[in-house]
A = this chain, B = another copy of it.
């Protein structure tokens, strides 16, 4: 029962974690309409030109730009209207000198015409069109292949599918795409004292596991709930084997420091190769975090305390997602604000400080929450941001301008918001 011999820096820990994660080779071929929030497994190419032919992008008149050159209110030019084309319709003859065709948004450009006059720049008198404005070549025309040409990359490998990607795939008639199989993350809690939420009568409820499972779901990965295991090495080993056989990452909470009952590290060492690569990280909270691997499958040992578990899982989960899928992630929303009180940082430690951000008088105010044990979940629920203080910093003075990653919205007075834009 003693402290760790050495704490690894957060950067060392990330380095050791990241260098062993391998990009997945598993994919699913799914319907495009079901692909939201999935990640492309390969480049997706266009098999056609979009639009497939030149089209008008306004309601107006398709003309030859040469015929209306110099047209203005003081120099109106008269053309003859010879037909009308609706969206998706086609005109089969060729526009000749001084002719115009009435055309609607999405209408296919008639042969001969090279631009579209907007309706408001002309006067239509029965079959005559009086043109008050000139029109340059391709004005108001969406050109064949302008959106996507045959063999263009529509979506790159490793892209998170957003609604506009679905729009693009649909417009190109691409019915199925290959996406990465969703990563499976097993969650195990250890501790003979823990009771499961569903059949709890008295004692300590395991709140860390439901939180970690939700974090996995929130990240659009599949969570495998492996329940609570007692402080018994054989049982821990059995559960770890089950997890390693069924998932791409394992997270085990509790029993990971160096107390008498902390059987997780020795269980891992017995069955995993290369086993534990990092144990003890110079961060606050979550200094008992450990990283192990069985081949390329990471086993993250996190604290049984929910706040510590949250902070360390969050840190490593993001890196796992990037490397497993070969993808990039949107940055977290951040703000810069003024610190309400001095916040010292112990040398060599990276601190993840829960803060409350508010908006007052044109600036953000950052108020660090009172820190006691890392079991204090209310510091996360009451906070709406995390201020990260690096290990080379001695902390910040009162009124310093600091950067905060937002974890929840900043409260607005909704009544006021309703009257503002």
CA distance A218 to B165 in the complex (A): 13
Q: Are B119 and A377 in contact (CB under 8 A)?
A: no
Q: Are A2 and B106 in contact (CB under 8 A)?
A: no
CA distance A331 to B357 in the complex (A): 13
CA distance A310 to B168 in the complex (A): 12
Let me know if A93 is at the binding interface, CB within 8 A.
Answer: no
Q: Are B409 and A193 in contact (CB under 8 A)?
A: no
- Stretch of A63-71, A73-81, A140-148, A275-283 lying at the B interface: A140-148
Q: Are A160 and B408 in contact (CB under 8 A)?
A: yes
Closest Cβ neighbor of A35 among chain B residues: B214
CA distance A306 to B260 in the complex (A): 62
Chain B's nearest CB lies how many Å from the CB of A324?
12
Q: Are B146 and A261 in contact (CB under 8 A)?
A: no
Chain B residues near A406 (CB-CB < 8 A): 330-331
Let me know if A92 is at the binding interface, CB within 8 A.
Answer: no
Question: Residue A87 contacts which of B118, B140, B165, B191 (CB distance < 8 angstroms)?
Answer: B191
Given A36-B217, A257-B105, A211–B164 Cβ distance below 8 Å? yes
Near B by CB (< 8 A), chain A positions 79-98 give: 86-89
CA distance A411 to B322 in the complex (A): 11
Q: Are A142 and B376 in contact (CB under 8 A)?
A: yes
Instruction: Choose among A148, A204, A258 the residue with the greatest number of B CB atoms under 10 Å from its CB.
Output: A204
CA distance A105 to B407 in the complex (A): 28
Q: Mark A295-321, 1 if CB is under 8 A from B, else 0.
A: 000000000111100100000000000
Question: Residue A215 contacts which of B155, B163, B332, B414 (CB distance < 8 angstroms)?
Answer: B163
Q: Are B15 and A147 in contact (CB under 8 A)?
A: no
Question: Residue A168 contacts which of B57, B105, B207 (CB distance < 8 angstroms)?
Answer: B207
Let me know if A203 is at the binding interface, CB within 8 A.
Answer: yes
Number of copies: 2
Let me know if A19 is at the binding interface, CB within 8 A.
Answer: yes
Let me know if A362 is at the binding interface, CB within 8 A.
Answer: no
Chain B residues near A307 (CB-CB < 8 A): 164
Q: Are B57 and A374 in contact (CB under 8 A)?
A: yes
Q: Are A310 and B163 in contact (CB under 8 A)?
A: yes
Let me know if A361 is at the binding interface, CB within 8 A.
Answer: no
Chain B residues near A375 (CB-CB < 8 A): 51, 55, 57, 142, 147
Given A104-B259, A164-B377, A197–B218 Cβ distance below 8 Å? no
Chain B's nearest CB lies how many Å from the CB of A60?
8
CA distance A328 to B221 in the complex (A): 26
Chain B's nearest CB lies how many Å from the CB of A336?
11
Let me know if A154 is at the binding interface, CB within 8 A.
Answer: yes
Let me know if A333 is at the binding interface, CB within 8 A.
Answer: yes
Chain B's nearest CB lies how many Å from the CB of A126?
15
Q: Are B162 and A119 in contact (CB under 8 A)?
A: no
Can you list 18 contacts pairing A with B, beta carbon distance less than 8 Å?
A: A1-B119, A3-B118, A3-B120, A18-B418, A33-B197, A37-B218, A106-B191, A106-B304, A147-B378, A152-B378, A163-B214, A164-B310, A167-B207, A168-B207, A170-B206, A323-B418, A329-B409, A333-B334
Q: Which residues on A are within 8 Å of B, measured CB to CB?
A: 1-3, 10-11, 14-15, 18-19, 32-33, 36-37, 51, 55, 57, 59, 86-89, 104-106, 118-120, 140, 142-143, 146-148, 152, 154-155, 159-160, 162-168, 170-171, 173, 175, 191-194, 197, 200, 203-208, 210-212, 214-215, 217-218, 257-261, 304-307, 310, 322-323, 326-335, 372-378, 380-381, 406-412, 414, 417-419, 421
